[in-house]
């Protein structure tokens, strides 16, 4: 609840959580977070550096190597994830507003994001319970016994982009925790607020100290240190190609596991037979607009290219331009 109290009081918000405690940055540096609507600061957060990253990795390492979380029964880990989902639903309005203000989304998009985040926690809770631990596979001979055992990887470092801060964080945090890993997350330095709030909820839901750590700060210091750190077993990165390339290079030195979700440029294809009725035509135009312009078009999967069959091209483009002008 510490982070929540700080949010309400409008003080410097505690966004570095290491080994079960909220703390200032080792350097005591802070950063102003700007509201994209008016470019004015509306929050101040801790600005960590390599020392904070090291402390967080050490805490996550301890919690994994000698803590209870990796050995906690799957059903209990799933129960924690479900409690987090309930807390997200409880705080939907405040979190949706915070996400809207932090990332410059409409309030409705902010609320929908929180719903999807709660769904992600429930999804991975169900998935891990369904997996049910060890399993004997028929190896084709009575003399051969093959067993599939699911084990946590260890300490997972996570780096997320600015545009869907909490959704991206949840797609990394929920599966990692479900599987018994500990983690250190570094959200985008310009949109860190809801990720810190999520760590607050994890603490409230009962995550043991050291299991859930967050360090806010720049990519070239905190992010780079997490990527290269020898005590990190896996790094999961979502962001642009240039940063992802650096993460992959840094991670290669210690040959850790790497997951990269990078930028994209996606085509939407509209054929004439999808525009046969006026209703279908309207739907196709709306979906093309939605694909290109939702969240001001700042989406990794945005439909930034449109390929339209020649026979409907003129009508389609004219209507698309007319509607785009009204956004
Ligand atoms: P970015 O690459 O600038 O930053 C992403 C994260 O990487 C931030 O937390 C940043 O601090 C960190 N970072 C930067 N340099 C680093 C380094 N050297 N080492 C470690 N970490 C570093 O991207 P952004 O502007 O925040 O987000 C937009 C990009 O993310 C776009 O390219 C978009 O397509 C992509 N994206 C992809 C997905 C997907 O699922 N594939 C989803 C959302 C966004």
State pLDDT tens for residues 130-185.
765 555 667 778 787 777 778 999 999 999 999 999 999 999 999 999 999 999 99
Query: Which residue CA neighbors atom 11 of ligand 1 most closely?
Result: 219
Among residues 24, 116, 300, 309, the one annotated as catalytic is 300
What atom of ligand 1 comes closest to residue 264's alpha carbon?
34
Query: Which residue CA neighbors atom 2 of ligand 1 most closely?
Result: 240
Best probe residue, ligand 1, of 239, 244, 296, 300 (max atoms within 8 Å of C-beta): 239
Yes or no: say if 104 and 296 are a contact pair by the CB < 8 Å rule.
Answer: yes
Query: Is the per-residue pLDDT at 122 higher than 60?
Result: yes
Best probe residue, ligand 1, of 36, 161, 163, 238 (max atoms within 8 Å of C-beta): 161
300 lines ligand 1 (CB under 6 A): yes
189 lines ligand 1 (CB under 6 A): yes
| CA 156 – CA 231 distance, rounded (Å) | 9
Please state, in angstroms and as integers, the Cα–Cα distance from residue 274 to each residue in 8, 45, 111, 262, following that order: 50, 49, 31, 31
Residue 253 is encoded by which pair of tokens? 């030195």
pLDDT digits (tens, 9 = 90+) for 204-250: 999 999 999 999 999 999 999 999 999 999 999 999 999 999 999 99
| CA 309 – CA 183 distance, rounded (Å) | 48
pLDDT digits (tens, 9 = 90+) for 77-112: 999 999 999 999 999 999 999 999 999 999 999 999
6 lines ligand 1 (CB under 6 A): no
The alpha helices in the chain, defined as continuous H runs, are: 2-9, 50-65, 74-90, 92-103, 107-131, 165-178, 193-205, 224-228, 241-252, 278-293, 310-324
What atom of ligand 1 comes closest to residue 189's alpha carbon?
11
Is 300 a catalytic site residue?
yes
How close is the Cα of 218 to the center of ligand 1, in Å? Answer: 11
Yes or no: say if 195 and 185 are a contact pair by the CB < 8 Å rule.
Answer: yes
pLDDT at 57: 98
Find residue 21's DSSP bridge partners: 18
């Amino acid at each position: 609840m510490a982070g929540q109290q700080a949010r309400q009081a409008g003080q410097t918000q505690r966004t570095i959580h290491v080994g079960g405690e909220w703390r200032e940055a080792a350097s005591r540096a802070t950063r102003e977070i700007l509201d994209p609507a008016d470019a004015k600061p509306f929050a101040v957060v801790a600005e960590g550096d390599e020392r904070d990253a090291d402390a967080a990795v050490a805490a996550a390492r301890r919690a994994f190597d000698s803590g209870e979380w990796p050995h906690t029964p799957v059903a209990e880990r799933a129960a924690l994830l479900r409690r987090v989902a309930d807390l997200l639903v409880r705080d939907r309005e405040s979190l949706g507003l915070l996400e809207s203000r932090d990332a410059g989304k409409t309030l409705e998009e902010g609320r929908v994001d929180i719903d999807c985040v709660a769904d992600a926690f429930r999804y991975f809770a169900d998935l891990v319970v369904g997996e049910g631990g060890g399993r004997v596979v028929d190896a084709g001979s009575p003399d051969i016994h093959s067993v599939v055992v699911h084990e946590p990887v260890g300490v997972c470092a996570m780096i997320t982009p600015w545009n869907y801060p909490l959704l991206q964080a949840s797609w990394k945090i929920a599966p990692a925790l479900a599987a018994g890993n500990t983690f250190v997350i570094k959200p985008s330095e310009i949109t860190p607020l809801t990720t810190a709030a999520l760590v607050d909820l994890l603490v409230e839901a009962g995550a043991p100290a050291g299991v859930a750590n967050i360090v806010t700060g720049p990519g070239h210091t905190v992010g780079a240190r997490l990527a290269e750190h020898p005590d990190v077993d896996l790094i999961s990165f979502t962001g642009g190609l240039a940063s992802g390339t650096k993460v992959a290079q840094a991670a290669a030195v210690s040959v850790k596991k790497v997951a990269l979700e990078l930028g994209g440029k996606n085509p939407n294809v509209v054929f004439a037979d999808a525009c046969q009725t006026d209703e279908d035509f309207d739907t196709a135009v709306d979906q093309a607009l939605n694909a290109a312009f939702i969240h001001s078009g700042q989406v990794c999967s945005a439909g930034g290219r449109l390929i339209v069959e020649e026979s409907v091209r003129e009508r389609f483009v004219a209507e698309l331009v007319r509607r785009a002008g009204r956004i």
